[in-house]
Chain A
Amino acid sequence: MPTCLVVDDSRVIRKVSRRILEDLGFEVAEASDGVEAMAWCSAVMPDVILLDWRMPGMNGLEFLKTLRGETGGDHPKVIFCSVENDLHAIREVLDAGADEYIMKPFDGGILAGKLDYLGVAA
Protein backbone atom coordinates (compact mmCIF):
# COMPACT_ATOMS: atom_id res chain seq x y z
CA MET A 1 0.00 0.00 0.00
CA PRO A 2 1.53 3.39 -1.00
CA THR A 3 2.12 5.88 1.76
CA CYS A 4 1.31 9.58 1.91
CA LEU A 5 2.41 12.16 4.46
CA VAL A 6 -0.02 15.05 4.81
CA VAL A 7 1.75 18.19 6.05
CA ASP A 8 -0.59 21.04 6.99
CA ASP A 9 -1.05 23.22 10.06
CA SER A 10 -4.84 22.99 9.66
CA ARG A 11 -6.32 20.00 11.44
CA VAL A 12 -9.41 20.21 9.23
CA ILE A 13 -7.38 20.03 6.00
CA ARG A 14 -5.39 17.09 7.39
CA LYS A 15 -8.58 15.28 8.31
CA VAL A 16 -10.26 15.88 4.94
CA SER A 17 -7.09 14.93 3.04
CA ARG A 18 -6.68 11.77 5.10
CA ARG A 19 -10.22 10.68 4.28
CA ILE A 20 -9.74 11.27 0.54
CA LEU A 21 -6.35 9.53 0.48
CA GLU A 22 -7.53 6.54 2.50
CA ASP A 23 -10.45 6.15 0.09
CA LEU A 24 -7.88 6.16 -2.72
CA GLY A 25 -5.99 3.32 -1.02
CA PHE A 26 -3.14 5.18 0.68
CA GLU A 27 -1.70 4.64 4.12
CA VAL A 28 -1.66 8.13 5.62
CA ALA A 29 0.52 9.89 8.21
CA GLU A 30 0.16 13.50 9.33
CA ALA A 31 2.47 16.33 10.35
CA SER A 32 1.52 19.87 11.33
CA ASP A 33 4.68 21.65 10.14
CA GLY A 34 7.94 21.19 8.23
CA VAL A 35 10.01 20.21 11.27
CA GLU A 36 7.61 17.43 12.22
CA ALA A 37 7.46 16.34 8.59
CA MET A 38 11.29 16.11 8.40
CA ALA A 39 11.25 13.87 11.46
CA TRP A 40 8.80 11.54 9.67
CA CYS A 41 10.89 11.51 6.50
CA SER A 42 14.11 10.81 8.43
CA ALA A 43 12.45 7.68 9.82
CA VAL A 44 10.88 6.50 6.57
CA MET A 45 10.41 8.26 3.24
CA PRO A 46 6.76 8.26 2.13
CA ASP A 47 5.80 7.73 -1.51
CA VAL A 48 3.82 10.98 -1.66
CA ILE A 49 3.84 14.20 0.37
CA LEU A 50 0.86 16.53 0.28
CA LEU A 51 2.45 19.75 1.42
CA ASP A 52 0.99 23.04 2.60
CA TRP A 53 3.03 26.19 1.93
CA ARG A 54 2.30 28.66 4.71
CA MET A 55 3.02 26.99 8.04
CA PRO A 56 4.64 28.25 11.25
CA GLY A 57 8.24 27.18 11.87
CA MET A 58 9.60 25.53 8.75
CA ASN A 59 7.27 26.40 5.83
CA GLY A 60 6.53 24.17 2.87
CA LEU A 61 9.14 25.65 0.54
CA GLU A 62 11.91 25.42 3.16
CA PHE A 63 10.86 21.84 3.89
CA LEU A 64 10.92 20.93 0.19
CA LYS A 65 14.43 22.32 -0.33
CA THR A 66 15.69 20.50 2.76
CA LEU A 67 13.97 17.25 1.75
CA ARG A 68 15.44 17.21 -1.76
CA GLY A 69 18.94 17.51 -0.24
CA GLU A 70 18.47 14.47 2.02
CA THR A 71 19.46 10.90 1.14
CA GLY A 72 16.39 9.37 -0.52
CA GLY A 73 14.74 12.79 -0.54
CA ASP A 74 14.15 12.58 -4.27
CA HIS A 75 11.85 9.56 -3.82
CA PRO A 76 8.59 11.16 -2.61
CA LYS A 77 6.33 12.79 -5.15
CA VAL A 78 5.62 16.17 -3.60
CA ILE A 79 2.27 17.80 -4.29
CA PHE A 80 2.14 21.35 -3.02
CA CYS A 81 -1.28 22.30 -1.74
CA SER A 82 -1.92 25.95 -0.99
CA VAL A 83 -4.42 28.80 -1.25
CA GLU A 84 -1.75 30.65 -3.26
CA ASN A 85 -2.97 30.77 -6.88
CA ASP A 86 -0.48 33.18 -8.41
CA LEU A 87 1.29 31.55 -11.35
CA HIS A 88 4.70 33.03 -10.47
CA ALA A 89 4.41 31.45 -7.02
CA ILE A 90 3.40 28.10 -8.51
CA ARG A 91 6.36 28.26 -10.90
CA GLU A 92 8.65 28.99 -7.93
CA VAL A 93 7.70 25.78 -6.09
CA LEU A 94 7.86 23.67 -9.25
CA ASP A 95 11.37 25.03 -9.90
CA ALA A 96 12.25 24.18 -6.30
CA GLY A 97 11.44 20.52 -6.91
CA ALA A 98 7.70 20.07 -6.36
CA ASP A 99 6.11 17.53 -8.70
CA GLU A 100 2.61 18.96 -8.73
CA TYR A 101 0.53 21.79 -7.33
CA ILE A 102 -3.04 21.96 -6.05
CA MET A 103 -4.83 25.22 -5.31
CA LYS A 104 -7.13 25.11 -2.30
CA PRO A 105 -10.00 24.44 -2.12
CA PHE A 106 -9.83 21.07 -3.84
CA ASP A 107 -11.83 17.85 -3.92
CA GLY A 108 -11.12 14.15 -4.23
CA GLY A 109 -11.35 14.23 -8.03
CA ILE A 110 -8.63 16.86 -8.33
CA LEU A 111 -6.29 15.03 -5.95
CA ALA A 112 -6.95 11.67 -7.63
CA GLY A 113 -6.19 13.23 -11.02
CA LYS A 114 -2.83 14.58 -9.80
CA LEU A 115 -1.86 11.21 -8.28
CA ASP A 116 -2.83 9.43 -11.49
CA TYR A 117 -0.77 11.86 -13.57
CA LEU A 118 2.24 11.29 -11.30
CA GLY A 119 1.81 7.54 -11.61
CA VAL A 120 1.41 6.98 -7.89
CA ALA A 121 -2.28 6.06 -7.81
CA ALA A 122 -2.88 3.15 -5.45
Chain B
Amino acid sequence: MIAAQDLEFLAALCLKRAGLKVDPAKAYLVESRLAPLARRECFSSTEAFVAALRHGADDRLIWAAVEAMALPEREFFHDYKVFDALAHEVAPALSRARGGEPVRIWSAACGAGQEIYSLAMLLADAPGVGKVELFASDLSERSLEKAQAGRYSQFEIQRGLPARMLVRHFEKDGESFVLSPRVRQMVRWRRVNLMDDLSRLGQFDLILCRGVLSQLAPEAGGRLMEQLRAGLAPGGALLLGPSDSAGRNFVRVAPDLALYATAETRARSAA
Protein backbone atom coordinates (compact mmCIF):
# COMPACT_ATOMS: atom_id res chain seq x y z
CA MET B 1 0.00 0.00 0.00
CA ILE B 2 1.48 3.35 -1.08
CA ALA B 3 1.57 5.72 1.89
CA ALA B 4 -0.84 8.67 1.78
CA GLN B 5 1.98 11.24 2.02
CA ASP B 6 3.80 9.53 -0.89
CA LEU B 7 0.64 9.76 -3.00
CA GLU B 8 0.33 13.45 -2.13
CA PHE B 9 3.96 13.95 -3.11
CA LEU B 10 3.41 12.17 -6.44
CA ALA B 11 0.30 14.24 -7.21
CA ALA B 12 2.20 17.48 -6.53
CA LEU B 13 5.13 16.29 -8.64
CA CYS B 14 2.95 15.44 -11.65
CA LEU B 15 1.15 18.77 -11.38
CA LYS B 16 4.39 20.74 -11.22
CA ARG B 17 6.21 18.91 -14.01
CA ALA B 18 3.43 18.30 -16.53
CA GLY B 19 0.26 19.96 -15.27
CA LEU B 20 -1.22 16.52 -14.63
CA LYS B 21 -4.19 16.01 -12.37
CA VAL B 22 -3.51 12.95 -10.21
CA ASP B 23 -6.06 12.12 -7.53
CA PRO B 24 -4.17 10.93 -4.41
CA ALA B 25 -7.28 8.94 -3.46
CA LYS B 26 -6.83 6.72 -6.51
CA ALA B 27 -3.98 4.58 -5.21
CA TYR B 28 -4.98 1.73 -7.56
CA LEU B 29 -4.40 3.96 -10.60
CA VAL B 30 -0.98 5.00 -9.37
CA GLU B 31 -0.15 1.37 -8.68
CA SER B 32 -1.24 0.18 -12.14
CA ARG B 33 0.72 2.95 -13.92
CA LEU B 34 3.90 2.75 -11.86
CA ALA B 35 4.19 -0.98 -11.14
CA PRO B 36 5.75 -1.85 -14.55
CA LEU B 37 8.22 1.03 -14.18
CA ALA B 38 9.13 0.03 -10.62
CA ARG B 39 9.83 -3.54 -11.82
CA ARG B 40 11.89 -2.31 -14.75
CA GLU B 41 13.95 -0.15 -12.41
CA CYS B 42 14.50 -3.13 -10.07
CA PHE B 43 12.59 -1.81 -7.08
CA SER B 44 11.13 -4.43 -4.74
CA SER B 45 7.66 -2.82 -4.92
CA THR B 46 5.78 0.20 -6.22
CA GLU B 47 5.68 1.54 -2.65
CA ALA B 48 9.48 1.39 -2.48
CA PHE B 49 9.72 3.14 -5.85
CA VAL B 50 7.43 6.03 -4.87
CA ALA B 51 9.18 6.37 -1.52
CA ALA B 52 12.52 6.62 -3.37
CA LEU B 53 11.12 9.37 -5.60
CA ARG B 54 10.13 11.29 -2.53
CA HIS B 55 13.46 10.94 -0.85
CA GLY B 56 15.71 12.30 -3.56
CA ALA B 57 15.69 10.15 -6.71
CA ASP B 58 17.53 11.45 -9.76
CA ASP B 59 15.77 13.50 -12.39
CA ARG B 60 15.64 10.67 -14.93
CA LEU B 61 13.62 8.52 -12.55
CA ILE B 62 11.32 11.38 -11.61
CA TRP B 63 10.56 12.09 -15.26
CA ALA B 64 10.00 8.39 -15.92
CA ALA B 65 7.37 8.38 -13.16
CA VAL B 66 5.64 11.52 -14.48
CA GLU B 67 5.66 10.08 -18.01
CA ALA B 68 4.15 6.83 -16.78
CA MET B 69 1.35 8.73 -15.06
CA ALA B 70 0.70 10.71 -18.26
CA LEU B 71 0.51 7.64 -20.47
CA PRO B 72 -2.42 8.23 -22.83
CA GLU B 73 -4.74 5.37 -23.67
CA ARG B 74 -4.39 4.90 -27.40
CA GLU B 75 -5.69 2.49 -29.97
CA PHE B 76 -5.74 2.54 -33.76
CA PHE B 77 -8.68 4.38 -35.35
CA HIS B 78 -10.25 5.24 -32.03
CA ASP B 79 -13.62 6.12 -33.59
CA TYR B 80 -13.08 5.28 -37.27
CA LYS B 81 -15.60 7.89 -38.44
CA VAL B 82 -13.39 10.66 -37.03
CA PHE B 83 -10.34 9.53 -39.00
CA ASP B 84 -12.39 8.96 -42.13
CA ALA B 85 -13.64 12.55 -41.94
CA LEU B 86 -10.17 13.96 -41.21
CA ALA B 87 -8.55 12.18 -44.16
CA HIS B 88 -11.32 12.52 -46.72
CA GLU B 89 -12.95 15.86 -45.84
CA VAL B 90 -10.91 17.99 -43.43
CA ALA B 91 -7.41 17.45 -44.87
CA PRO B 92 -8.49 17.98 -48.53
CA ALA B 93 -10.36 21.15 -47.54
CA LEU B 94 -7.31 22.47 -45.69
CA SER B 95 -5.14 21.55 -48.66
CA ARG B 96 -7.36 23.52 -51.04
CA ALA B 97 -7.33 26.48 -48.67
CA ARG B 98 -3.52 26.37 -48.56
CA GLY B 99 -3.37 26.50 -52.36
CA GLY B 100 -0.94 23.64 -52.70
CA GLU B 101 1.24 24.50 -49.71
CA PRO B 102 1.78 21.52 -47.38
CA VAL B 103 -0.87 20.97 -44.71
CA ARG B 104 0.82 20.69 -41.30
CA ILE B 105 -0.81 18.25 -38.89
CA TRP B 106 0.27 17.65 -35.27
CA SER B 107 -0.72 14.84 -32.92
CA ALA B 108 0.01 16.51 -29.59
CA ALA B 109 0.05 13.50 -27.25
CA CYS B 110 0.73 10.64 -29.60
CA GLY B 111 1.50 7.83 -27.14
CA ALA B 112 2.84 4.87 -29.09
CA GLY B 113 1.81 6.40 -32.41
CA GLN B 114 -1.54 4.74 -33.07
CA GLU B 115 -3.41 8.01 -33.59
CA ILE B 116 -1.05 9.66 -36.09
CA TYR B 117 -0.39 6.38 -37.91
CA SER B 118 -4.14 5.83 -38.30
CA LEU B 119 -4.38 9.15 -40.08
CA ALA B 120 -1.16 8.54 -42.04
CA MET B 121 -2.45 5.20 -43.40
CA LEU B 122 -5.62 6.84 -44.70
CA LEU B 123 -3.78 9.85 -46.12
CA ALA B 124 -1.29 7.58 -47.87
CA ASP B 125 -4.15 6.08 -49.86
CA ALA B 126 -6.48 9.09 -50.13
CA PRO B 127 -6.92 10.65 -53.56
CA GLY B 128 -7.05 14.43 -53.76
CA VAL B 129 -5.04 15.12 -50.64
CA GLY B 130 -2.16 17.40 -51.43
CA LYS B 131 1.11 17.49 -49.57
CA VAL B 132 0.87 16.87 -45.84
CA GLU B 133 3.47 17.12 -43.10
CA LEU B 134 2.72 14.98 -40.08
CA PHE B 135 4.25 15.71 -36.68
CA ALA B 136 3.76 13.78 -33.46
CA SER B 137 4.91 14.48 -29.95
CA ASP B 138 4.65 12.98 -26.53
CA LEU B 139 5.99 13.58 -23.07
CA SER B 140 7.34 10.04 -22.89
CA GLU B 141 10.63 9.16 -24.60
CA ARG B 142 9.75 5.52 -24.18
CA SER B 143 6.44 5.96 -26.03
CA LEU B 144 8.19 7.90 -28.79
CA GLU B 145 10.77 5.14 -29.26
CA LYS B 146 8.00 2.59 -29.58
CA ALA B 147 6.07 4.84 -31.96
CA GLN B 148 9.06 5.39 -34.22
CA ALA B 149 9.72 1.67 -34.40
CA GLY B 150 6.10 1.13 -35.49
CA ARG B 151 6.17 -2.31 -33.89
CA TYR B 152 3.07 -3.62 -32.12
CA SER B 153 1.96 -6.81 -30.42
CA GLN B 154 -0.92 -8.92 -31.70
CA PHE B 155 -3.09 -7.57 -28.90
CA GLU B 156 -2.25 -3.91 -29.69
CA ILE B 157 -2.68 -4.35 -33.44
CA GLN B 158 -6.22 -5.69 -33.07
CA ARG B 159 -7.41 -2.70 -31.08
CA GLY B 160 -9.25 -0.70 -33.72
CA LEU B 161 -7.15 -1.56 -36.77
CA PRO B 162 -9.31 -2.95 -39.61
CA ALA B 163 -7.96 -6.22 -41.00
CA ARG B 164 -7.61 -4.78 -44.51
CA MET B 165 -5.38 -2.02 -43.16
CA LEU B 166 -3.36 -4.62 -41.29
CA VAL B 167 -2.59 -6.70 -44.39
CA ARG B 168 -2.01 -3.59 -46.49
CA HIS B 169 0.35 -1.67 -44.23
CA PHE B 170 2.02 -4.15 -41.87
CA GLU B 171 4.51 -6.99 -42.07
CA LYS B 172 4.79 -9.76 -39.52
CA ASP B 173 8.13 -10.06 -37.75
CA GLY B 174 8.21 -12.88 -35.23
CA GLU B 175 5.24 -12.32 -32.95
CA SER B 176 5.12 -8.57 -33.71
CA PHE B 177 3.56 -6.57 -36.53
CA VAL B 178 5.65 -3.77 -38.04
CA LEU B 179 4.26 -0.82 -39.96
CA SER B 180 5.63 -0.28 -43.46
CA PRO B 181 8.53 2.19 -43.80
CA ARG B 182 6.41 4.11 -46.33
CA VAL B 183 3.90 5.11 -43.62
CA ARG B 184 6.42 5.42 -40.78
CA GLN B 185 8.49 7.86 -42.81
CA MET B 186 5.51 10.19 -43.20
CA VAL B 187 5.77 11.21 -39.52
CA ARG B 188 8.34 13.35 -37.68
CA TRP B 189 8.66 12.88 -33.92
CA ARG B 190 9.67 15.08 -31.02
CA ARG B 191 9.51 14.94 -27.23
CA VAL B 192 7.28 17.80 -26.10
CA ASN B 193 6.00 18.71 -22.66
CA LEU B 194 2.71 20.48 -23.40
CA MET B 195 3.35 22.72 -20.41
CA ASP B 196 6.46 24.20 -22.06
CA ASP B 197 6.46 27.10 -24.51
CA LEU B 198 5.00 25.57 -27.69
CA SER B 199 5.62 28.56 -29.96
CA ARG B 200 8.96 27.04 -31.05
CA LEU B 201 6.98 24.31 -32.86
CA GLY B 202 5.48 26.81 -35.29
CA GLN B 203 1.85 26.78 -36.44
CA PHE B 204 -0.28 23.91 -37.63
CA ASP B 205 -3.31 23.58 -39.87
CA LEU B 206 -4.73 20.71 -37.83
CA ILE B 207 -3.95 19.79 -34.23
CA LEU B 208 -5.11 16.50 -32.70
CA CYS B 209 -5.32 16.75 -28.92
CA ARG B 210 -7.76 14.10 -27.78
CA GLY B 211 -8.00 12.80 -24.23
CA VAL B 212 -5.39 15.24 -22.92
CA LEU B 213 -7.48 17.96 -21.29
CA SER B 214 -9.22 15.47 -19.02
CA GLN B 215 -5.82 14.49 -17.63
CA LEU B 216 -4.78 18.04 -16.82
CA ALA B 217 -5.47 20.24 -13.84
CA PRO B 218 -7.90 23.06 -14.79
CA GLU B 219 -5.28 25.81 -14.80
CA ALA B 220 -2.88 23.69 -16.86
CA GLY B 221 -5.69 22.85 -19.28
CA GLY B 222 -6.48 26.55 -19.72
CA ARG B 223 -2.83 27.31 -20.42
CA LEU B 224 -2.65 24.52 -22.97
CA MET B 225 -5.77 25.75 -24.79
CA GLU B 226 -4.23 29.23 -25.02
CA GLN B 227 -1.08 27.74 -26.51
CA LEU B 228 -3.04 25.61 -28.96
CA ARG B 229 -4.98 28.67 -30.06
CA ALA B 230 -1.70 30.43 -30.81
CA GLY B 231 -0.39 27.29 -32.49
CA LEU B 232 -3.22 27.10 -35.01
CA ALA B 233 -2.50 28.65 -38.38
CA PRO B 234 -5.25 30.98 -39.69
CA GLY B 235 -8.10 28.78 -40.89
CA GLY B 236 -6.74 25.82 -38.95
CA ALA B 237 -8.73 23.35 -36.85
CA LEU B 238 -8.35 21.64 -33.49
CA LEU B 239 -9.65 18.14 -32.80
CA LEU B 240 -10.47 17.40 -29.16
CA GLY B 241 -11.93 14.36 -27.43
CA PRO B 242 -15.74 14.12 -27.44
CA SER B 243 -16.00 15.08 -23.78
CA ASP B 244 -13.34 17.82 -23.81
CA SER B 245 -14.47 21.41 -23.40
CA ALA B 246 -12.85 23.84 -25.84
CA GLY B 247 -13.71 27.00 -23.92
CA ARG B 248 -14.94 30.33 -25.18
CA ASN B 249 -12.09 31.05 -27.59
CA PHE B 250 -13.07 28.21 -29.92
CA VAL B 251 -16.13 27.49 -32.02
CA ARG B 252 -17.23 24.01 -33.03
CA VAL B 253 -17.20 23.69 -36.81
CA ALA B 254 -18.58 20.19 -37.44
CA PRO B 255 -21.74 18.75 -35.86
CA ASP B 256 -20.48 15.15 -35.76
CA LEU B 257 -16.86 15.86 -34.85
CA ALA B 258 -15.26 17.54 -31.84
CA LEU B 259 -13.53 19.81 -34.36
CA TYR B 260 -12.99 23.47 -33.48
CA ALA B 261 -11.76 26.65 -35.11
CA THR B 262 -10.59 29.69 -33.22
CA ALA B 263 -13.27 32.30 -32.67
CA GLU B 264 -11.14 34.76 -34.72
CA THR B 265 -11.02 32.41 -37.70
CA ARG B 266 -14.75 31.83 -37.46
CA ALA B 267 -15.47 35.56 -37.32
CA ARG B 268 -13.24 36.20 -40.35
CA SER B 269 -14.94 33.53 -42.44
CA ALA B 270 -18.38 34.85 -41.45
CA ALA B 271 -17.46 38.42 -42.43
Comparing B41-49, B124-132, B157-165, B192-200, the segment that makes contact with chain A is: B157-165
Number of interface residues of A (CB under 8 A): 17
- Residues on A with C-beta less than 8 A from B159 are 109-110, 113
Considering the chains assembled together, what is the distance between the CA atoms of A85 and B75 in angstroms?
Answer: 19
Pull 13 A–B residue pairs with CB atoms less than 8 Å apart, ordered by A.
A85-B172, A86-B172, A87-B166, A87-B167, A87-B170, A87-B171, A90-B163, A91-B167, A94-B167, A100-B162, A113-B159, A113-B160, A117-B162
A-B contact count (CB 8 A): 36
Residue of B nearest to A110 (CB): B158
Binding site secondary structure of chain B? mixed
- Residues on B with C-beta less than 8 A from A98 are 163
Considering the chains assembled together, what is the distance between the CA atoms of A90 and B158 in angstroms?
Answer: 13
- Residues on B with C-beta less than 8 A from A113 are 75, 158-160
**Distance of B38 from chain A, by nearest CB (Å):** 26
Considering the chains assembled together, what is the distance between the CA atoms of A113 and B77 in angstroms?
Answer: 9
What are the interface flags for B145-161 relative to A under an 8 Å C-beta threshold, 1 for contact and 0 otherwise? 00000000010001110
What are the interface flags for B164-190 relative to A under an 8 Å C-beta threshold, 1 for contact and 0 otherwise? 101100111000000000000000000
- Residues on A with C-beta less than 8 A from B160 are 113, 117
What are the interface flags for B67-105 relative to A under an 8 Å C-beta threshold, 1 for contact and 0 otherwise? 000000001010010000000000000000000000000
- Residues on B with C-beta less than 8 A from A103 are 154, 158
Query: A102 at the A/B interface (Cβ < 8 Å)?
Result: yes
Given A90-B167, A91-B167, verify A116-B158 contact (CB < 8 Å).
Answer: no
Most interface-central of B158, B162, B171 (chain A CB within 10 A): B158
A90 touches B162 (CB 8 A): no
